[in-house]
Amino acid sequence: MTTATRPFGFWTATALVVGGMIGAGIFVLPAQLAPYGATGAAGWVAAIAGAVVVAWVFSRLFAARPEATGAMDVVAGGLGPLPAMLVAWSYWVSTWCANAVLALTAARYLAQFWPWLGSSTLISAIAALAMLWGLTLFNLLGARDVGRLQVVTVVLKLLPLVAVVLILAGLAVTDPGRFAAHAHAPFDPVQITPALGLAFFALVGFECAGVCAERVRDPGRIVPLATMAGVVVTGALYLLVSTGIVYAMPQQELADSGAPIALFVGEFWGSAAGLITAAFAMISALGCLNGYVLLLGEVPLGMARAGLLPRWIARTSSRDVPTGVILIASVLASVLILSNAFRTLSGLMTFMLNITAAATVWLYIGACASAWMQRIARPWAALGFAFAIWVMIGTGMEAVGWSVVLMVTALPLYWLRGRAE
For the chain, domains (ranges, CATH) are 10-416 (1.20.1740.10)
Give the Cα separation of 167 and 181 in Å (integer). Answer: 16
Quote the DSSP letter at residue 186.
P
Instruction: Determine the distance from the C-alpha atom of residue 283 to the mean position of all C-alpha atoms in its chain, rounded to a whole number.
Output: 15
Give the Cα separation of 21 and 98 in Å (integer). Answer: 11
C-alpha radius of gyration, the chain, whole number: 20
Cα dihedral 131, 133, 211, 91, rounded to 10, equals 90
Q: Quote the pLDDT of residue 209.
A: 65
Which residue, 277, 286, 310, 348, is CA-closest to 139? Answer: 286
**Contact, 404 vs 204, CB < 8 A?**
no
Q: Quote the pLDDT of residue 95.
A: 84
CA separation, residue 173 to residues 46, 63, 87, 338, 395 (Å): 28, 44, 48, 47, 37
Interhelix angle 271-305/81-110, rounded to 10 degrees, is 160
Q: In degrees rounded to 5, what are phi and psi of residue 325?
A: -65, -40
Beta strands in 129-204 (DSSP E): none
pTM reported for the whole predicted model:
0.79
SS3 410: helix
Mean pLDDT per 10-residue run, the chain (421 residues)? 61 74 79 88 91 85 73 79 85 86 84 79 85 85 58 70 89 85 84 90 75 68 80 86 90 81 89 87 80 76 72 69 80 80 64 83 92 92 95 89 88 70 45
Q: In degrees rounded to 5, what are phi and psi of residue 118?
A: -105, 15
The continuous run of DSSP H or E covering 143 comes out as helix 143-174
419: exposed, middle or buried (Cβ count in 10 Å: 0-12, 13-18, 19+): exposed
Give the Cα separation of 243 and 257 in Å (integer). Answer: 16
Q: How many CB atoms lie within 10 A of CB 186?
A: 8
Q: Quote the pLDDT of residue 20.
A: 66
Q: Quote the pLDDT of residue 42.
A: 92
Q: How many CB atoms lie within 10 A of CB 393?
A: 16
**Contact, 33 vs 195, CB < 8 A?**
yes
**Contact, 215 vs 146, CB < 8 A?**
no
Give the Cα separation of 224 and 220 in Å (integer). Answer: 7
